[in-house]
Structure 1
Amino acid sequence: MKSKKFAFTLVSVILIFSVIATACGSKDSGSGGSKTEFRMNIGSEPPSLDPAQVQDNVSSTVVNGLFEGLTRKDADGKVVPGVAESWDVSEDGLTYTFHLRDSKWSNGDPVTAGDFEYAWKRALDPNLKPQPSAYAYQLYYLKGAEDYNLNGGSVDNVGVKATDDKTLVVTLNAPTPYFDSLVGFYTYYPVHPSVKDNEAWAADAKTIIGNGPFKMGDWQKNNSISIVKNDNYYAADEIKFTKVTFSEVLDSATELSMYETDQLDWAGKPVGSIPTDQLETLKQTHKDELTISPSANLYYYLFNTTVKPFDNVKIRKALTLAINRQDIVDNVTKEGQVPAYGLVPPGINIGDEEYRSKVSGDFFKEDVEEAKKLLAEGLQEEGLSKMPTIKLAYNTNDAHKKIAEALAEMWRTNLGVDTSIENQEWGVFLDNRNSLNYEVARGGWGADYNDPMTFIDLFTSKSGNNNTGFANPEYDALVKKAYSTADQAVRLQAMSDAEKILMDEMPIAPVYYYTNVYMVKPGFKGITMDYKGDIDYSRGYYEGK
């Protein structure tokens, strides 16, 4: 502690001891010096804490502590039993029978197979309020699910049935090798029966009843959220943190300052950020706390293909080819990211092999002269003499701002195109993307499970997360073909053909594949980040001196 002058009066001494006591109090919230609170930043207010409505990392980081699916992932990323203590799979791979353990909701009610059946059918409900689930398509593996969600089919024909309180029988359209992983994803989480009578249940901490390792604590809107240990969780003895607090700070410099002044125990990914201009210094000063590792996530820009002139593929291609990706990762992001020339990132497997090693990622190459030619041809087709000023939107974050500014400068320098950039609050930004109320917008996608399909089916015409307006019958047919077989060779060919179509049509401009960049305070153990950049703090603990 430094200051220009000190007058060591009795008052000063008292104040000094008060500061020390306060610092110790913030550092050790448990007895015997055991730290039982974990603090991290999520950047902004979660748009929703309803598993059926979640479609982003901010919301899921909180929701994953409040709820649990039939399965979950262990520290090594392997599928392990969750609410289901075991399951059987039929010889043809079409029927899964899940056997539920004795578990309770945070209010003490028993978790039943019927809660899962209701939740899955609720997520598929085309009239779900306040809006249909963007992730409903993630349940289309179930027999009758797509028909109910899109075509007015009967909910009674959806292939999920609670045969008793402890048994859930699921019938699939086709064998799905990664289905045991899927049922650990948040769209497959159960919800408490009380949500039937309260459409706004997820907006109030008092009415959120979960079945996960934590339950809702204090929720100060647009400021912070705290969740506390759920003593009714079936594995409560494995949960060491009594509280997890999420700050909602947008500025990366502020986040780093909070970390360095012991207001945060974790800084950076999956939803926070560390200032890029501080990374080289942090590699020296915090080398034992800083981690930079590959992540199976894609950073990209979306084109709204339903508005002119972005409905013209040549214009989309011109803008994509005019981006210098290496310059962005070397001089703007500076986190070791890899330039992206395809959709599916490295680290995603098909069967036992990495998809990217089987399929070339270089579906296109940067070429300014070709970009100029395509832009001229596209503008002529649109009857335009000049490209109108592009309106580019990004969600508020200083890193996204720097990338948007770099992109705008590249388009100006390489193509003579002007760009107006606009930052938007996260919830507003998502709403605008979902409603196609934009021209060009920042996008990011991380794997929901370890299979290329988690990226490929994002851009079908039936995907609620396809925010581009892109619809291609051939693409949809290839995805359907990959869905319909367990033959990995057939799946590989279908998905790689679909990826090629997407990169030919360019509804998105891939920029780079992410890295995980984060810092965690010494002494924290058991907090894991998986291959796709999702954090699991549920089995974390503090083991300091």
Structure 2
Amino acid sequence: MRRIVRPLACALALLLAGCGQGGDGEFTVALIGDEEDLLAEGVRLSSGAQLVRAATESGLVALDARGEVVPALAERWIVTDDGLSFIFRLREDEWADGSEMSAQSVRDELRRNLRALRGTSLGLDLSPIDEIRAMTGRVVEIRLTTPVPELLTLLAQPELALRHEGTGPMTVERTAQQPDESEGALVGELLFRFKPPVERGLPDVPEWQEEVRDLLLVSELAPRALAMFDDGDVSIVLGGRIDNLPLVDIGPLSRGTLQIDPAIGLLGLRVREAQGLLEEAVLREAIAMALDRPAVMAPFNVGGWTASTRLVAPGLPGDPGLVGERWADQSLEQRRETARARVQQYTARQDSETSGPVRLTLAIDEGPGLDLLLQGLAEQLATINVRLERAEDRDKADLVLVDRVARFSDPRWFLNQFACSLRQGLCSQQADSFVAQSMNALDPIVRASLIAQAELQMARENVYIPIGAPIRWSLVRSGSQGFSPNRYAFHPLPPMAEVPR
């Protein structure tokens, strides 16, 4: 059925605008996931829906293939010396309904987006925005309560796209939806096509179609996506995570390359509630002390991956070095000896005749990589007489796996993931207080000190047990362009739809 549907879709596209745009044919990309991920709406987007939103809708700025900020609806901008004001000049354009893209309309859309993001971690990231002003002509100013050097990266997030239909560089249409007989799931296909340059805010270029091509995005489960890559049906596979990394057979991949993103973010265990073995901070610390992080990740054989005992990724831009790795002066066995003693003291206090390891449950999905991760963690905790098992009921788990890529390179992103206002597990009111104080600190030294105190407070309360950086990977066939590994593991579709020169 797939071999029938695709030619029909391409024939229809040929009648409408020219299949392949320039004779290079459509460029096919597989995204590991399902169609629901691609078509999600609102402000809580999956990684697949972020790709669709970024291709079809624009914000003031966008991220390119390298994860760097580039112009979108704003053609240029300046930042004041104190870092408290970002001033954007909009390109001359119209909304889809023909109305002027004025500073007032852009301001109103930005305000609407900020209201919609309240109650989310991204909303917390954007909370330093104090005021959005429409100035004369096509100029918009964003004022802050405290400097946010990476505000542009935040404004480039797909959730900050201005939701006037058609502001993005590409159009999209669904071309097929049929069952995948091997997996019993629906397969989604979306066809993306570049709009003419003038509709993208660019000068009109004759024969511009020769520079671009259609892009077909296919959502597939991991085994099928990898098989399509091996068979030459797709040129790039996106959306790889730790759960499906073991499916990649690195050796025989002669026609493609495994690309690992140098992603920053969170990979670790969040404490859901302070109860049982996790009721006290010193007991939660015992779990963190027992982990041999490199050994847990060794089966994945990811070059360049580094373990960390910190909540905030080490080495971020502007990191003053006020917080270091924990237990640096202790060997693994010394840490485990302390952890075993604490677990033993806990079990001695329990009014139970049952002997044996203390049981903890972890909310973790199934998959070959996650099974390996659970097995590794269980082996580590067994050394301190703790039995770790997969939770049957996620809402009743003792621990929850956190596997998340950062939105921007700032310690606040990491701390905001555990804000008490999000109500997603155990949190620290004191750490939140330090973060809030930093929002009103104009002195960079004071601000960095408050952020460091927040991280140290989180470490003292042990609400999160870090493992290291999240793992994100893609398969990219040799000769493909428009793809670049980056720290945000975000790979926009438009660069892939440009014809290689």
User: Aligned partners of 1:104 and 1:453: how far apart in 2?
Assistant: 36
1:328/1:406 contact within 8 Å kept: yes
1:401 equivalent in alignment to 2:371: yes
Q: What residue identity is the alignment partner of 2:299?
A: N
Q: Are 2:69 and 1:100 aligned?
A: no
2:190 to 211, 220, 226: 226
Deviation at 1:305, TM superposition (A): 2.7
Aligned equivalents of 1:190 and 1:218: distance in 2? 22
Residue 400 of structure 1 and its aligned partner are, at CA, apart by 2.0
User: Which of the residues 407, 430, 444 maps onto 1:448?
Assistant: 407
Q: 1:89 to 1:324 in 2, by over 3 A?
A: closer
Matching residue of 2:180: none
Offset, 1:422 = 5.0
Deviation (angstroms), 1:394: 2.0
C-alpha spacing 1:63/1:261, structure 2 compared with 1 (3 Å): same
1:343 to 300, 307, 311: 311
Tell me which of 217, 236, 242 is aligned to 1:245.
217
State the aligned residue count: 466
CA contact (8 A) 1:301 1:510 kept: yes
Contact 1:52 1:122 in 2 (8 A): no
Q: Distance in 1 between matches of 2:451 and 2:343?
A: 29
Tell me the CA shift for residue 83 of structure 1: 0.8
Give yes or no for contact 1:229–1:243 (8 Å, CA) kept in 2: yes
Q: Is the 8 A contact 1:342 1:363 kept in 2?
A: no
Contact map agreement 1:523 1:542 (CA 8 A) in 2: no
- Structure 1 residues 168 and 326: CA distance shift in structure 2, 3 A: same
Q: Which moved more, 1:183-192 or 1:70-79?
A: 70-79
Please state if 1:68 is matched with 2:58: yes
1:200 aligned residue: none
Aligned-pair CA distance for 1:136: 2.0
Structure 1 length-normalised TM: 0.73
How much has 1:457 moved relative to structure 2? 2.9
SS of the equivalent of 2:262 reads strand
| Contact 2:266–2:405 under 8 Å retained in 1 | yes
Give the deviation of 1:34 after TM superposition.
0.9
- 1:53 aligned onto 2:44: yes
- Matched ranges for 1:324-343 at <5 A: 324-332=292-300, 334=302, 336-343=304-311
Larger deviation: 396-405 or 382-391?
382-391
Residue from 121, 127, 130 that aligns with 1:140: 127
Equivalent residue number for residue 14 of structure 2: none
Partner of residue 361, structure 1: 325
Question: Structure with the greater relative contact order (CA < 8 A, sep ≥ 6): 1 or 2?
Answer: 2
What 5-or-longer segments of structure 2 have no aligned partner?
Answer: 12-17, 178-184
**Which residue of the other structure, out of 63, 67, 75, is the alignment partner of 1:85?**
75
Structure 2 letter corresponding to 1:181: T
Amino acid in structure 2 at the alignment position of 1:36:
E
Secondary structure at the aligned position of 1:339 is classed as: coil
Contact 1:64–1:186 (CA<8 Å) still a contact in 2? yes
Task: Show CA shifts across 1:84-116 (max 9, x none).
Answer: 112344454433332211345567665454454
Question: Secondary structure of the equivalent of 2:270?
Answer: strand
Take 1:174 and 1:228, find their aligned partners in 2: how far apart are those partners?
Answer: 39
Residues 169-206 of structure 1, C-alpha deviation per residue, up to 9 Å, x if partnerless? 322212322223322123432223xxxxxxxxxxxxxx
1:468 is paired with a residue whose SS is coil
Moved more, 38-47 or 518-527: 38-47
User: Contact 1:276–1:335 at 8 Å: present in 2 too?
Assistant: no
For 1:437 and 1:48, how far apart are their aligned partners in 2?
Answer: 30
Residues 322-374 of structure 1, C-alpha deviations (whole Å, 9 max, x = no match): 22211122124655522221122245212xxxx38674234667532222222
Q: Does 1:503 align with 2:459?
A: yes
| Paired letter, 1:171 | R
User: 1:198: which partner in 2?
Assistant: none
User: Is residue 152 of structure 2 the alignment partner of residue 180 of structure 1?
Assistant: yes
- Structure 1 residues 420 and 461: alpha-carbon distance in aligned structure 2, compared to 1, 3 A threshold: closer
How far has the Cα of 1:163 moved from its partner? 4.8
User: C-alpha distance in 2, partners of 1:502/1:188?
Assistant: 29
- 2:30 corresponds in structure 1 to 40
In 2, distance between residues paired with 1:356 and 1:444? Answer: 26
Cα 1:419/1:472, change in 2 over 3 Å: same
Aligned to 1:154: none
- Is contact 2:246–2:368 with CA below 8 Å preserved after alignment? no
Q: Report how far residue 229 of structure 1 moved.
A: 2.2
8 Å Cα contact 1:217-1:226 kept in structure 2: yes
2:380 matched residue in structure 1: 410
Counterpart position of 1:189: 161
Q: CA, structure 1 residues 89+339, in 2 after alignment: closer, same or farther (shift >3 Å)?
A: closer
Once residues 190 and 98 of structure 2 are traced to their aligned partners in structure 1, the CA distance between those partners, rounded to angstroms, is: 20
8 Å CA contact retained: 1:218, 1:226: yes
Q: Distance in 1 between matches of 2:145 and 2:240?
A: 33
Partner of 2:468: 512
Measure the CA separation in 1 of the matches of 2:134 and 2:168. 20
Distance 2:136 2:231 in 1: 52
Paired residue secondary structure (2:324)? coil
Determine whether 1:471 maps to 2:428. Answer: yes
CA contact (8 A) 2:269 2:400 kept: yes
Of 272, 280, 285 in structure 1, the residue corresponding to residue 254 of structure 2 is 285
| Aligned residue type for 1:451 | D
Residue 123 and residue 293 in structure 1: after superposition, are their counterparts in 2 closer, same or farther (change >3 A)? closer
Asked if residue 391 in structure 1 is aligned to residue 361 in structure 2, the reply is yes
Q: CA deviation at 1:524?
A: 1.7
Question: Is the alpha carbon distance of 1:532 and 1:176 closer, same or farther for their aligned partners in structure 2, counting shifts above 3 Å?
Answer: same
Do the aligned partners of residues 488 and 389 (structure 1) sit closer, same or farther apart at CA in structure 2, a change above 3 Å counting? Answer: same
Moved more, 45-54 or 132-141: 45-54
Percent identity of paired positions between Structure 1 and Structure 2: 18
What is the letter of the counterpart of residue 80 of structure 1? V
For the 8 Å contact 1:318–1:375, the answer to whether it is kept is yes
Contact 1:70 1:81 (8 Å CA) reproduced: yes
- Please give the alpha-carbon distance, in whole angstroms, between the structure 1 residues aligned to 2:232 and 2:171: 24
Q: Is the 1:226–1:246 Cα contact (8 Å) retained in structure 2?
A: yes
Query: What stretches of structure 1 of length at least 5 have no aligned partner?
Result: 1-17, 144-158, 193-208, 424-431
Classify 1:181/1:132 alpha carbon distance in 2 versus 1 (closer, same or farther; 3 Å). Answer: closer
* Superposition deviation, residue 43 in structure 1: 2.2
**CA-to-partner distance for each residue in 1:132-165, whole Å, 9 max, x for gaps?**
545321221122xxxxxxxxxxxxxxx2244578
Deviation at 1:507, TM superposition (A): 1.3
- What is the distance in 2 between the residues matched to 1:223 and 1:416? 42
Q: Which amino acid aligns with 1:262?
A: G
Letter in 1 for 2:402: G
